[in-house]
Amino acid sequence: MRKLSLTVIGLYIGLLAAFSQNSKPDSTQFKSRKISFEEANLVSSYYKQDGNNSAVTGGIGSEKLTDISNSIEIKLHKWDVKGRKHTYDFELGVDHYTSASSDLIDSKANSSASHADTRVYPSANWTMENDAKGTTFGAGGSISYEFDYLSFGGNINFAKKTKNRNGEFSGKLFTYIDNLKLIYPVELRTGATTPRGENYPTAGRNTFGGSFSYSQIVNQRLQLAFLLDVIYQSGYLGLPFHRVYFNNGTELVESLPGTRIKTPIGFRANYFVGDNVILRGYYRYYKDDWGLDAHTLNLETSVKITPFASVSPFYRYYTQSAVDYFAPYMTHKTTDPYYTSNYDLSKFTSQMYGAGIRLTPPKGILGMEHWSMLELRYGHYTKSNGMNSDILSMNLKFK
Amino acid sequence: MQIKKSAQKIRTGIAVGMIAAATVVSCSPVKEYQKNRLNDGEMALANRKVEKTELSFQSYREGASGANAGKSGGGCGCN
């Protein structure tokens, strides 16, 4: 009887040992090789602006513009036989804008063909992540189409984590091959064209760039990223409907150099304070060979009201010098080699402030399990030259 | 004047480099199970998706762009 009791206890201990948790990671964990849905994002925005320095009318006139944009992104993934994760990201965006200044490309028309346009931009990206090696490879392509602009984009990217998985270097090479219709102001056109006709001459604009970053975890609350882009552009870098009025009263469209090299360098720092507050900081210094220097500072504080809801007020400050080729309305000389009256390239400072709210309830928004996040954000933007704008955006995430 | 500007740039570069090096050296390794705060959705070292249009209009309305994972020229009628 005693032997039998010991045998039963021994068997029980054996069974407990067999079914107890194993602290070693399970390297044979099954991962489906079928394509699975990861998440979908719907982003919608309403943007409106006003000002009195439109480039279409030579640096004077209304900058009134409204834009409604919608994009949907679908992310899928699968695992291959080597345990690498393949992610497929498809996105389709549609923007529709109305612009008072674009309407004046044809200054004789009231509500001309160019007063509104729609931009459609699909893209597809693939990444392959090898968790064992800490590497990621990827490639992607994009198209952007609007009536006077067609763009084809491509990119390849690579990322490698450090040995202790606390740092990551990433690099991306990208290109955009663009083609634009040269729609001149109506009074400067030569030859026959229809209002939305096919007889416009065209010009090319090519962009080649590299984007590099290094991110580092400093401790359990702080992480940083250093960012560097180098961009080379060539081709027609102005816009054909930007008028310039010279000091002798003559009129032409803006003329800018055929190449541009941009070198922005950035820094990000995110810090988790206590249990409920996250500070997000971003700074960028930008310089290009057209003589433009700029500084951008962005600060945001996310306050978690509950573990599933946060409010994020933000403030952005931006300052830039003018490009070498800028002068206001009727101040350029006809002997200037390059000229523009586009106030986006003038000297100014801008400020933007606003707030966002983010909800991620564990049972889903309105109890809908797959609707995992709702984020709303409003911002008000002002430039020192009087231009101002408002933007309201929404992001819905489904998992 | 030009030499003065170049010297100032070199000094700024050295200062930035030293700060970056000091930051990396002073890091204490964080294990996966200690990353609960770092893995919070709002700690991501990236723009929020909801900022997409905001970044796009900034690249139209301002001369500078890039180094923020957004558009840095090309692909649209912006600068």
Residue A7 domain flag: no
> Which one of A152, A302, A325 makes the best mutation probe of the B interface by having the most chain B beta carbons within 10 Å?
A302
* A24-43 as b/e: b if 16+ CB within 10 A: eeeeeeeeeeeeeeebbbeb
What the block records as the tokens of A135 is: 């590497």
Mean per-residue pLDDT, A266-277: 96
CA distance B51 to B64: 17
Residue A33 domain flag: no
> How many beta carbons lie within 10 A of that of residue B15, not counting itself?
10
- A91–B contact, CB cutoff 8 A: no
- B21–A contact, CB cutoff 8 A: no
> In which element (H, E) is residue A250 found?
none
- A278–B contact, CB cutoff 8 A: yes
Residue A221 domain flag: yes
Residue A31 domain flag: no
How many domains does chain A contain in total? 1
Residue A342 domain flag: yes
Strands (E), B1-79: none
CA distance A234 to A239: 14
Residue ranges making up the domain that contains A60:
46-398
Q: Which residues pair with A225 in a beta bridge?
A: A215, A268
Query: Residue B54 and residue A377: Cβ atoms within 8 Å?
Result: yes
CA distance A138 to A173: 11
* pLDDT (tens digit per residue) in A17-61: 444 444 444 545 667 789 999 999 999 999 999 999 999 999 999
CA distance B2 to B8: 10
CA distance A321 to B62: 11
Burial status of residue A312 (CB atoms within 10 A of its CB: 0-12, 13-18, 19 or more): buried
- Residue A390's CATH number: 2.40.160
- B45–A contact, CB cutoff 8 A: yes
Q: Which residues pair with B65 in a beta bridge?
A: none
Rg of chain B over Cα atoms, rounded to whole angstroms, equals: 19
Confidence (pLDDT) at A186: 85
Contacts of A153 in chain B (CB under 8 A): 74-75
Contacts of B30 in chain A (CB under 8 A): 166, 217, 219-220
Contact between B58 and B79 (Cβ < 8 Å): no
- A221–B contact, CB cutoff 8 A: yes
Q: From A179, A173, A177, select the one nearest A158 (Cα to Cα).
A: A173
Q: A22: which residues sit within 8 A by CB, 6+ positions away?
A: none
CA distance A188 to A243: 10
* pLDDT (tens digit per residue) in A273-290: 999 999 999 999 999 999
Backbone angles phi, psi at A43, to 5 degrees: -120, 125
How close, in Å, is residue A253 to chain B by CA atoms?
16
Q: From A258, A207, A254, A253, select the one nearest A236 (Cα to Cα).
A: A258
Query: Residue A41 and residue B76: Cβ atoms within 8 Å?
Result: no
Residue in chain B closest to A181 (alpha carbons) equals B77
Single-letter amino acid, residue A231? I
* pLDDT (tens digit per residue) in A156-190: 999 999 999 999 999 999 999 999 999 888 888 87
Mean per-residue pLDDT, A69-79: 97
What the block records as the tokens of A351 is: 């400020």
How close, in Å, is residue A9 to chain B by CA atoms?
36
Nearest-by-Cβ selection for A344 from B27, B68, B79 = B79
Q: From A147, A252, A121, A148, select the one nearest A205 (Cα to Cα).
A: A148
* pLDDT (tens digit per residue) in A200-222: 899 999 999 999 999 999 999 99
How close, in Å, is residue B65 to chain A by CA atoms?
7
Residue A352 domain flag: yes
How close, in Å, is residue A191 to chain B by CA atoms?
24
Q: Counting every residue, how long is chain B?
A: 79
